[in-house]
Amino acid sequence: MSGIREGHGTLEAQHLVKDFRLRDGVRFSTLHAVKDVSFSLAPGRTVALVGESGSGKSTIARMMAKLETPSSGRVLIDGMPSGDRGRALERYRRDVQMVFQDPFGSLNPFHTIRHHIERPLRIHHPGWSSSDVRSRANELLERVRLAPAGRFAERRPHELSGGQRQRVAIARALAPGARFIVADEPVSMLDVSIRLGVLNLLADLQREEHLGVLYITHDLATARHFSDEILVMFRGEIVERGPSDRVILDPQHEYTKTLLDAAADPDKLGMLRDDVRIGG
Amino acid sequence: MRADAVPVLTARGVSIEYDVDPPVRAVRNASLTLHRGEILGLAGESGCGKTTLAYGINRLLKAPALMTAGEVTFHDADGRDIDVVELRGDSLRRFRWDKVSMVFQGSMNSLNPVMSIRAQLHDVFTTHRPGMTRREREARCAELLGLVGVDPSRLSSFPHELSGGMRQRVMIAMALALDPQVMIMDEPTTALDVVVQRGIIREIMRLRERLGFAVIFITHDLPLLIEISDRIAIMLEGEIVEQGTAVEIYRAPRHDYTKRLLASFPSLRGDRGDFVRRGAVTTGGAA
């Protein structure tokens, strides 16, 4: 397979810090969005990053995808510091790709699905002939279950459903031959009944292509089922980390417990009603 | 479910069409009964017609939406029955918000950004309770904010000065203002963080215990509905395909769609059960 290269390296975040300067009139203040966060992604494993909005999850995603420069700390790939410009950045982008939350905003309404997949193939494989590019694009579309590829390739994004669009976004992320995928709330904008399908697709691809996935979400249940490790973020810090079942079933940190108590649980049927009746 | 269930709102055979080309039959022959003081959950995916049905019940449909069939009856606390479909002009104005109020979808953004909270709450009373003096209105507004857990000093604030959770609480206060017997809540907490969401749900449950209004709670979050509702109706493509108590829907769903919807939410704490992450090599995940 042309898309996969040898190497069992890891993608590692080391002491990442991100501060934003906020302006309030003439005064400035500093928002510490991410405070000293370290973790590592291994091929074939999924790490979930959970927390509320504003906890710094997306800032981490953007730093991993090099859309944001860390205030301090660094990102290592295969044990080497990753590049921030030129060739090195190009190489990094080939290895690490992102799937965004909004499948309606992340595809260009002007271009066909084929264009979205072929463009990254051309950019990252300048040596390929047109027919190479075309057949690889078809192959990618079929990999994300948009088969037969011919039926979808010539359409434009508005002709596809949200779930199909998110599949295109996943195929696009795989196109450069990515080894690591950063998925920022990939299913939160999709209808509930198709969410699991998209997550399962990611899980299949991850296993088959030996991808390392950073799955960012606020949904603890899917974090538990789709990842090997969970990191819980609170106000820019990772307050708890561990194997996913352990974090969910035996939470240690107060904040993890608060998050778990806040998640809807049908097994607690009627308990909240009885609780407010007694407690007032 | 209470044994002494008295209906407060009944909808029979409601059909609503969007009169576009071709016409969209958004709600088809939907019947619902809401009992006094209960929480009725209305679940379904985007586009299934749940919001349209709620708008129909509250007579908020705007062209091209049109109620083509069905009747909606409100059983007032004083024993009178009100035919909601026939209400016009002043009688409609007296009915709306007074008997049935609504917390809108995305209501974090439905406050007027250039009016203070005070002005917006006072507005409800100047319209519906013209006899109230300014002092009475002010006292009632402060009371309402207290009720939903927002400091009454916030009356002078503008919406942008409040957090999303607080704005949502103000919207609930506004819906409570006239002591309605029914409150329709359309995805009242979806845009909020889970922890804030839980606080607001708790607040709604507490207020309902105290004030005794009935709630139609619309959301796609079935686990949440099962946790808080008395009864649940499942909607699919404009039709109500299943209705039952929360326990029935959870333990013994009959319709295939209900089963599929339930299976879309993997269990948080429970056994991994029949839900298996495909392609996983480790079992149990506890590496």
Instruction: Please indicate, yes or no, if residue A231 is contained in any of the structural domains.
Output: yes
Position B284 pLDDT exceeds 60: no
Run of H or E residues at A89: helix A86-95
Out of A193, A224, A228, closest to residue B268 by CB: A224
Q: Given strand B39-43, what is the order of strands in its sheet?
A: B100-103, B182-186, B214-219, B39-43, B231-236, B239-245
Nearest Cα neighbor of B14 from B235, B246, B224, B283 is B235
- What residues in B contact A246, CB-CB < 8 Å? 286
Q: Given strand A212-217, what is the order of strands in its sheet?
A: A96-99, A180-184, A212-217, A46-50, A229-234, A237-243
**φ/ψ bin of B69: left (φ > 0), alpha (ψ from -120 to 50), beta (otherwise):** beta
How far apart are the C-alpha atoms of B187 and B18, rounded to whole Å?
A: 22
B32 and B11 Cβ atoms separated by less than 8 Å: yes
**Average pLDDT value for chain B:** 87
Out of A193, A207, A259, closest to residue B195 by CB: A259
Number of domains in chain A: 1
Instruction: Please indicate, yes or no, if residue A126 is contained in any of the structural domains.
Output: yes
> A60 by DSSP, 3-state: which?
helix
Phi and psi torsions of B81, nearest 5°: -105, 135
Position B109 pLDDT exceeds 90: no
Please report which confidence band the pLDDT of residue B99 belongs to, taking 50, 70 and 90 as the band edges.
Answer: very high
Q: Do the chains contact at A244 and B285, CB–CB below 8 Å?
A: yes
Instruction: Please indicate, yes or no, if residue A161 is contained in any of the structural domains.
Output: yes
A249 and B271 Cβ atoms separated by less than 8 Å: no
- What residues in A contact B201, CB-CB < 8 Å? 272
B244 and B36 Cβ atoms separated by less than 8 Å: no
Question: Nearest-CA distance from A228 to chain B in Å?
Answer: 6
Instruction: Please indicate, yes or no, if residue B122 is contained in any of the structural domains.
Output: no
Residue in B closest to A200 by C-alpha: B278
Residue in A closest to B284 by C-alpha: A245
**The pLDDT of residue A161:** 86
Q: Do the chains contact at B205 and A272, CB–CB below 8 Å?
A: yes
Handedness of CA B248, B250, B255, B258 (dihedral sign): positive
Question: Nearest-CA distance from B254 to chain A in Å?
Answer: 17
Residue in B closest to A205 by C-alpha: B279
CA B98 → CA A213, B76, B82, B193, B204, distances in Å? Answer: 52, 11, 13, 30, 18
**CB neighbour list of residue A69: distance below 8 Å, 6 or more residues apart:** A63, A84
- What residues in A contact B278, CB-CB < 8 Å? 200, 203-204, 207
Residue that has been written with the tokens 């990842």 in this structure: A227
**The pLDDT of residue A280:** 52
Nearest Cα neighbor of A146 from A178, A116, A187 is A116
Instruction: Please indicate, yes or no, if residue A177 is contained in any of the structural domains.
Output: yes
HEC profile of A244-263: HHHHHHCCCCHHHHHHHHHC
Average pLDDT over residues B272-283: 49
Out of B264, B269, B282, closest to residue A195 by CB: B264
A193 and A187 Cβ atoms separated by less than 8 Å: no
One pLDDT digit (tens) per residue for chain A, 280 residues: 444 443 458 999 999 999 988 877 778 888 889 999 999 999 989 999 998 877 888 899 999 999 999 999 999 998 888 888 888 998 999 999 999 988 888 899 999 999 999 999 999 888 999 999 999 999 999 989 888 888 888 999 988 888 899 999 999 999 998 999 999 989 888 888 888 888 998 998 888 889 999 999 988 889 998 999 999 999 999 999 999 999 999 999 999 999 998 888 888 777 887 777 776 5
> A162 by DSSP, 3-state: which?
helix
- What residues in A contact B206, CB-CB < 8 Å? 276, 280
Question: Nearest-CA distance from A191 to chain B in Å?
Answer: 6
Instruction: Please indicate, yes or no, if residue B205 is contained in any of the structural domains.
Output: yes
| Exposed/middle/buried for residue B70 (C-beta within 10 Å: 0-12, 13-18, 19+) | buried
Question: Nearest-CA distance from B131 to chain A in Å?
Answer: 33
Q: Do the chains contact at B226 and A269, CB–CB below 8 Å?
A: yes
**The pLDDT of residue B56:** 92
A187 and A198 Cβ atoms separated by less than 8 Å: yes
Please report which confidence band the pLDDT of residue B108 belongs to, taking 50, 70 and 90 as the band edges.
Answer: low
**CB neighbour list of residue A71: distance below 8 Å, 6 or more residues apart:** A17, A18, A19
Instruction: Please give the residue range of the domain that contains residue A75.
Output: 11-279
Which ipTM did the prediction report? 0.73
Out of B261, B275, B286, closest to residue A192 by CB: B261
Residue in B closest to A263 by C-alpha: B194
CA A63 → CA A17, A60, A213, B87, distances in Å? Answer: 10, 5, 15, 57
What CATH code is carried by the domain that includes residue B92? 3.40.50.300
- What residues in A contact B246, CB-CB < 8 Å? 269-270
- What residues in A contact B263, CB-CB < 8 Å? 196
Query: Which chain B residues have any C-beta within 8 angstroms of a chain A C-beta?
Result: 45-46, 193-195, 197-198, 201-202, 205-206, 209, 220-224, 226-228, 246-247, 250, 260-261, 263-270, 272, 275, 277-282, 284-287
Q: Do the chains contact at A269 and B246, CB–CB below 8 Å?
A: yes
E-strand stretches of A100-201: 180-184
Instruction: Please indicate, yes or no, if residue A156 is contained in any of the structural domains.
Output: yes
Instruction: Please indicate, yes or no, if residue A203 is contained in any of the structural domains.
Output: yes
Position B120 pLDDT exceeds 50: yes
HEC profile of chain B: CCCCCCEEEEEEEEEEEECCCCCEEEEEEEEEEEECCCEEEEECCCCCCHHHHHHHHCCCCCCCEEEEEEEEEEECCCCCEEEHHHCCHHHHHHHECCCEEEECCCHHHCCCCCCCHHHHHHHHHHHHCCCCCHHHHHHHHHHHHHHCCCCHHHHHCCHHHCCHHHHHHHHHHHHHCCCCCEEEEECCCCCCCHHHHHHHHHHHHHHHHHHCCEEEEEECCHHHHHHHCCEEEEEECCEEEEEEEHHHHHHCCCCHHHHHHHHCCCCCCCCCCCCCCCCCCCCCCCC
- What residues in B contact A277, CB-CB < 8 Å? 209
How far apart are the C-alpha atoms of B95 and B80, rounded to whole Å?
A: 13
What CATH code is carried by the domain that includes residue A216? 3.40.50.300
Question: Nearest-CA distance from B44 to chain A in Å?
Answer: 9
Please report which confidence band the pLDDT of residue B64 belongs to, taking 50, 70 and 90 as the band edges.
Answer: confident
Instruction: Please indicate, yes or no, if residue A175 is contained in any of the structural domains.
Output: yes
Instruction: Please indicate, yes or no, if residue A246 is contained in any of the structural domains.
Output: yes
Query: What is the length of chain A?
Result: 280
Residue in A closest to B227 by C-alpha: A269
Residue in B closest to A277 by C-alpha: B209
Number of domains in chain B: 1
Average pLDDT over residues B37-47: 90
Dig out the tokens for A142 from the structure. 């079929």
Residue that has been written with the tokens 């024993």 in this structure: B79
Instruction: Please give the residue range of the domain that contains residue B12.
Output: 7-106+181-263
